[in-house]
Structure 1
Amino acid sequence: MASSSPETKITDDHLVLELTVRDLDSSALDGPSSAPESSSSDEIIPLLNQNQRPRINIFSASYTRRKPREQVIKVTEAEISPVTQFASWVWNGSRYSGLLCMALSSTLYLIMELVSDTFSVQPIPLFETAFMRCTIILLLSYLWLKRIGQPVFGPVHARKLLVSRALVGYLSLFSFIFSIQMLPLSQAIVLSFLNPVMASVAARVILHEKLKITDIGGLACSFFGVLFIFGPTLTVQVGSAVKNENLKGNHHIYAFLLGLFSSITGGITYCLIKAAAKASEQPVITVFSFGLVACPAAAICMFSLESFVLPAFETLISMIALGLLAFCAEVLLVRGLQLEKINKAANILYIEVVLSQLWGLSTGKAESSGLFSRIVGCLLILISVSYTVYMGPAKDTE
């Protein structure tokens, strides 16, 4: 006769196991005649109570040693610094990335101007300054391309554009340096801010970009703002420049035409930058190509047209800092032109004038004369830039 021992229960928070020990009857071992009856009566009772299904088993059990995927993602995001997140968002994390890159580029150019005015302790010739900046740009762009494993000379199909961008870009820089030495400062600045207008016209002809009436109006509004800001100073400097022997007669006309030529070639350079950056798919390659041409050309002009000045230690540090800022500004400029239509991206460059005037007013360095016209000019530029940002790049995304 089968006998059973007391039941043993193992209770856990998640699982209840019930064990029953049974002894087989001795008659079950005597012969086969009793086997069916014994097997039918002496079936093994399951270890688990069927009425109480376990809530977990070895296949569905979760272990706390493995972190959920959400926690892993949160930890990874927490390890990234806010500066890196902001840089990634500006570079390619927003549909406004092109406009943001142009705005940051303009801000860096303003910082360069402030650093040059504040920490300039020794006058350095312009071609020597250009050679120093182009050398730093060349070295940093080369290291950037080597770090990411990109060919420094770019893909084969984009090399003609890269060479054209480098040659036209240095031609614009070369003519601008000569014009700024011969013209009054306000005239040279006003002519340099013709670059966005010339770039928009060149983009319509070269890249076949659509130029709407609102785009033309925005650029005109920004340029008139520049005229309002520099108008009073421009009138005074032109009146005093008549007494300057270097600007008498045809010399002033030649200098003006040279500055206008610099603006035209600068606008064409913007189109070539955009085309080369899209063809090579890497903005830094266009910066490297410019440095590759500009460095030896600036060195030739430095030794042939000017007297070399050995910079002091403080001046050298300032020139290196300006070179680093120039590299960042150039990369952001190329990236902005790569992502955005030229007429919209170029209009953002006028924000540098507004920031410069606001800095002068906040520090008290701005002249009191012509204050109303400067305020009107800043408002015109802000209205134009705000309209460009408000319209956004969504409809113009290629």
Structure 2
Amino acid sequence: MLSDPVIDVEASDDSPGNAVSSPPLNPIHRFIASIPEKVPAFGILCALLGVTICVFQFIPYFIITIAKRYPFFGPPGSRLDLFLRCVSGTASLVTLYMAFRLMPLSDAMTLYMSSPVFVTIFAYFILKERITVVHVTTGTITIIGVFIICRPEFLFGHNKHHHKHHYEHRLIGIALSIGAAITSAYSLINLRKLKSTPVPVIVMWYSIAVVVIGNCVLPFLDRWVLPRDLYTWSLLVAIGAAGVVNQMFQTMAFQYESPGPISVTRSFNIVLAFIWEVAIFVEPIAWTSLLGAALITVSIVIIAINKTYKMGRRLVNLMLRKVLTKASKRYR
């Protein structure tokens, strides 16, 4: 496996992090732009997951699991699915963080958000769900969007100076982003099979898996590099805390709203990724990235509308059935 380029903890004056630090950028922007040069991808993973997730996720959910006497290892029939969910979820997180180092943020996030298409494929083979015309259409649109974002040189030519950061291993970043989308989709399939498993048990074991797997991978890649100053630690902890809050709000959203509208709102992450790339990293955005992101977003919206329509029909049919049942009982 090709690992990240070796980067010293102390960035030099001619490092890419400082090359982006033009006079119009303030010190905060300069610091954020230099984080990838100071802390390698797996160093960031170890720091924010080993500290933040352990504190904010594992400890509270461990206490809840013990207090409510949930089965610590999950129900007897779902332990393999719980294990696969933890491994696939961790793999998705690891590959996504590596992709952020090797390609533009917006492209990596767009490819990652194509996971609903892979969910459909896994649902067909694993859950034996039927594939419809909508699934085929959205899958085709997504593949076209991914192809455009990949920008193969035989169609679009080679533009080495498109980004201020030259991404030498961009193809590996693309593969990692798609891998993150696939493993994320497989993780969601396993979550659907864990309906009888208490949520605190799932989150607790996921937190353990992330810390254990992350620390097992680090020695093999020789990337055990931690931040040296409190400010960098605070930023990494803030990233982890934001991720924990994101999971909490997302879980609450699924309790009050159907998956369709939530999928649409999640696709807004693509828009935010483009905004952050321009505002913070001052990276130019290629028209191919915008077109590919637009196609993938359209696919996500179509899938969400289709799911919402199906759920609406089911609710209407259920309500009509109840009304007709009550009416028939009344006139008997």
What are the within-5 Å matches in structure 2 for residues 273-284 of structure 1? Answer: 273-276=191-194, 278-280=195-197, 282-284=198-200
Normalised by the length of structure 1, the TM-score is: 0.53
Q: Secondary structure at the match of 1:239?
A: coil
- Match in the other structure for 1:313: 230
What are the within-5 Å matches in structure 2 for residues 233-382 of structure 1? Answer: 239-240=159-160, 247=169, 257-276=175-194, 278-280=195-197, 282-305=198-221, 306-333=223-250, 349-357=266-274, 367=284, 370=287, 377=294, 380=298
What are the within-5 Å matches in structure 2 for residues 128-143 of structure 1? Answer: 128-135=43-50, 136-141=52-57, 142-143=59-60
The offset of 1:257, in angstroms, is 4.5
Further displaced range: 195-204 or 369-378: 369-378
| Partner Cα separation in structure 1 for residue 290 and residue 173 of structure 2 | 27
Question: Are positions 1:159 and 2:76 aligned together?
Answer: no
Give the direction of change, closer, same or farther, for the CA distance of 1:212–1:381 in structure 2 (3 Å limit): closer
| Partner Cα separation in structure 2 for residue 372 and residue 173 of structure 1 | 22
Give the direction of change, closer, same or farther, for the CA distance of 1:131–1:259 in structure 2 (3 Å limit): same
- Match in the other structure for 1:94: none
| Partner Cα separation in structure 2 for residue 227 and residue 221 of structure 1 | 10
Give the direction of change, closer, same or farther, for the CA distance of 1:284–1:227 in structure 2 (3 Å limit): farther
Give the direction of change, closer, same or farther, for the CA distance of 1:184–1:279 in structure 2 (3 Å limit): same
Give the direction of change, closer, same or farther, for the CA distance of 1:195–1:178 in structure 2 (3 Å limit): same
Give the direction of change, closer, same or farther, for the CA distance of 1:303–1:176 in structure 2 (3 Å limit): same
Q: Secondary structure at the match of 1:291?
A: helix
- Match in the other structure for 1:194: 114
What amino acid is aligned across from residue 53 of structure 2 in structure 1?
Answer: I
Give the direction of change, closer, same or farther, for the CA distance of 1:383–1:300 in structure 2 (3 Å limit): closer
- Match in the other structure for 1:49: none
Q: Note if contact 2:144-2:292 (Cα within 8 Å) is conserved in structure 1.
A: no
| CA shift digits 1:101-130 (9 cap, x unpaired) | xxxxxxxxxxxxxxx979736432211222
| Partner Cα separation in structure 1 for residue 123 and residue 285 of structure 2 | 39
| Partner Cα separation in structure 2 for residue 347 and residue 157 of structure 1 | 33
Choose the corresponding residue for 1:124, options 24, 39, 42.
Answer: 39
The offset of 1:213, in angstroms, is 2.3
Q: Secondary structure at the match of 1:168?
A: helix
| CA shift digits 1:217-241 (9 cap, x unpaired) | 456556766777x578999896329
Q: Note if contact 2:261-2:305 (Cα within 8 Å) is conserved in structure 1.
A: no
| Partner Cα separation in structure 1 for residue 82 and residue 220 of structure 2 | 27
| Partner Cα separation in structure 1 for residue 140 and residue 291 of structure 2 | 16
Give the direction of change, closer, same or farther, for the CA distance of 1:168–1:335 in structure 2 (3 Å limit): farther
| Partner Cα separation in structure 2 for residue 155 and residue 162 of structure 1 | 9
- Match in the other structure for 1:213: 133
The offset of 1:292, in angstroms, is 0.8
Q: Secondary structure at the match of 1:279?
A: coil
Structure with bigger helix share is 2
Q: Note if contact 2:43-2:225 (Cα within 8 Å) is conserved in structure 1.
A: yes
% identical equivalent positions: 15
What amino acid is aligned across from residue 127 of structure 1 in structure 2?
Answer: F
| CA shift digits 1:190-226 (9 cap, x unpaired) | 4323322112211222123344323444565567667
The offset of 1:284, in angstroms, is 3.5
Tell me how many residue pairs correspond in the alignment.
275
What amino acid is aligned across from residue 309 of structure 2 in structure 1?
Answer: M
Further displaced range: 286-295 or 388-397: 388-397
Normalised by the length of structure 2, the TM-score is: 0.61
Cα RMSD for the two superposed structures: 4.8
Q: Secondary structure at the match of 2:134?
A: helix
What amino acid is aligned across from residue 240 of structure 1 in structure 2?
Answer: K
The offset of 1:295, in angstroms, is 0.2
Give the greater-gyration-radius structure (CA).
Answer: 1
The offset of 1:315, in angstroms, is 1.6
Question: Are positions 1:146 and 2:63 aligned together?
Answer: yes
Q: Note if contact 2:116-2:300 (Cα within 8 Å) is conserved in structure 1.
A: no
Q: Note if contact 1:175-1:262 (Cα within 8 Å) is conserved in structure 2.
A: yes
Q: Secondary structure at the match of 2:312?
A: coil
The offset of 1:387, in angstroms, is 3.2
- Match in the other structure for 1:203: 123
- Match in the other structure for 1:70: none
Q: Note if contact 1:350-1:381 (Cα within 8 Å) is conserved in structure 2.
A: no
| CA shift digits 1:10-59 (9 cap, x unpaired) | xxxxxxxxxxxxxxxxxxxxxxxxxxxxxxxxxxxxxxxxxxxxxxxxxx
